[in-house]
Amino acid sequence: MRIILARGENIYKRKDGRWEGRYPKEKNADGSIYYGYIYGKTYRIVREQLLAKKSLISASEDKIQQSFKGSFADLVDFWLDQLIKENIKESTYTSYQNKFNLHILPVIGNIPLDQINVQQLEYLISKMNEKLSASSIRITFRLVKSCLEAAKKRGYIQLNPAEQISLPKVERTQVKALTRQQHALLLSESRKDIKGLPITLALETGMRIGEISALKWCDVDFEQNLIYVCRTKQRISNTSNGKSKTKLIETTPKTQRSKRLIPLTSALKKQLLNAKSQSSSPYVVENRGESIEPRTISYRFERMKKTLNLPSLHFHALRHTFATRCIELGVNISTVSALLGHTSTKMTLDIYTHSIFEDQRMAIEKLSSLSS
Query: Which one of 313, 334, 351 terminates a domain?
Result: 313
Closest by CA position to 214, among listed 291, 295, 300, 314: 291
**10 Å Cβ neighbour count for 354?**
14
- Which residues form the domain of 29? 11-60
**Residue 237 domain flag:** yes
Residues 113 and 190 in one domain: no
d(CA 67, CA 61): 10
pLDDT at 331 over 60: yes
Summarize the confidence of residues 13-35 as an average pLDDT.
74
Residues 111, 118: Cα–Cα separation, whole Å: 13
| 77 in any annotated domain | yes
pLDDT digits (tens, 9 = 90+) for 265-312: 999 999 999 999 999 899 999 988 888 999 999 999 999 999 999 999
Whether 364 has a pLDDT exceeding 80, the answer reads: no
219 and 133 share one domain: no
Residues 288 and 189 in one domain: yes
| Alpha helix (H) residue ranges in 292-344 | 294-308, 316-328, 333-340
* Nearest to 6, CA basis, from 21, 26, 28: 21
Give domain status of residue 337, yes or no.
no
* Tally of residues, the chain: 372
Q: What is the pLDDT of residues 169-191, one digit of tens each?
A: 888 777 788 988 999 999 999 99
241 and 283 housed in the same domain: yes
113-172 tens-digit pLDDT: 989 999 999 999 999 999 999 999 999 999 999 999 999 888 888 889 999 999 998 887
pTM to 2 decimal places: 0.70
Residues 224 and 283 both lie in one domain: yes
* pLDDT for residue 132: 93
Residue 95: inside a domain: yes
Report pLDDT for 37.
Answer: 84
Using the Cα atoms of residue 360, residue 361, residue 364 and residue 369 in order, give the sign of their dihedral.
negative
Does one domain contain both 288 and 261?
A: yes
* Residue 363 or residue 138, greater confidence: 138
Q: Residue 232's pLDDT band (boundaries 50, 70, 90)?
A: very high
